[in-house]
Amino acid sequence: MPLNIMTLSRVDMPVSQAEGLKILERDQYCCRYCGLDGKASFENALVMSVDFVVPRARKGKKDPANLVACCRPCNTIKGTRVYKSFEDAKKYVLDKREEMRRNWEANRMRPAARAASAQPA
Ligand SMILES: [Zn+2]
């Protein structure tokens, strides 16, 4: 088994370990939103989870059709909004990740640029 079952038991989710594993195996341990490969490393395995496409808080069913493998960052970004479809949710998550990446890169570049301009010629 490529994934330590303990990583699942620490996730607060209303599906059993057996149910969760079934979903992860169906989705080959890859996040259905960003494609993160949960089998690629221990760090990746640690963040794999199972997501309710329609959140439980919005009466989403505990049904394989409503469950997808999902990394925790994507799960956090997706939140408890309701989307028209899985494709809609995926688009939102990926757009948001891209926006966050751009902000992160902009903030990361700034101090370096400042340091470079402060250097004597
Ligand atoms: Zn993801």
Residues of the chain with pLDDT > 90, as a percent, come to 65
Give the rounded distance of the alpha carbon of 25 from its chain centre: 16
For residue 69, the CA-to-ligand 1 centroid distance in Å is: 9
Higher pLDDT, 15 or 39: 39
Burial class of residue 103 in the structure, from the number of CB atoms within 10 Å of its CB (0-12 exposed, 13-18 middle, 19+ buried): exposed
Q: Which two tokens stand for residue 86?
A: 């899985």
Cα–Cα distance measured from residue 55 to residue 70, given in angstroms and rounded to the nearest whole number: 13
For residue 55, the CA-to-ligand 1 centroid distance in Å is: 16
For residue 87, the CA-to-ligand 1 centroid distance in Å is: 14
For residue 20, the CA-to-ligand 1 centroid distance in Å is: 16
Cα–Cα distance measured from residue 25 to residue 45, given in angstroms and rounded to the nearest whole number: 13
Burial class of residue 118 in the structure, from the number of CB atoms within 10 Å of its CB (0-12 exposed, 13-18 middle, 19+ buried): exposed
For residue 116, the CA-to-ligand 1 centroid distance in Å is: 35
The pTM score is: 0.78
For residue 58, the CA-to-ligand 1 centroid distance in Å is: 21
Confidence of residue 116 (pLDDT cuts 50, 70, 90): low
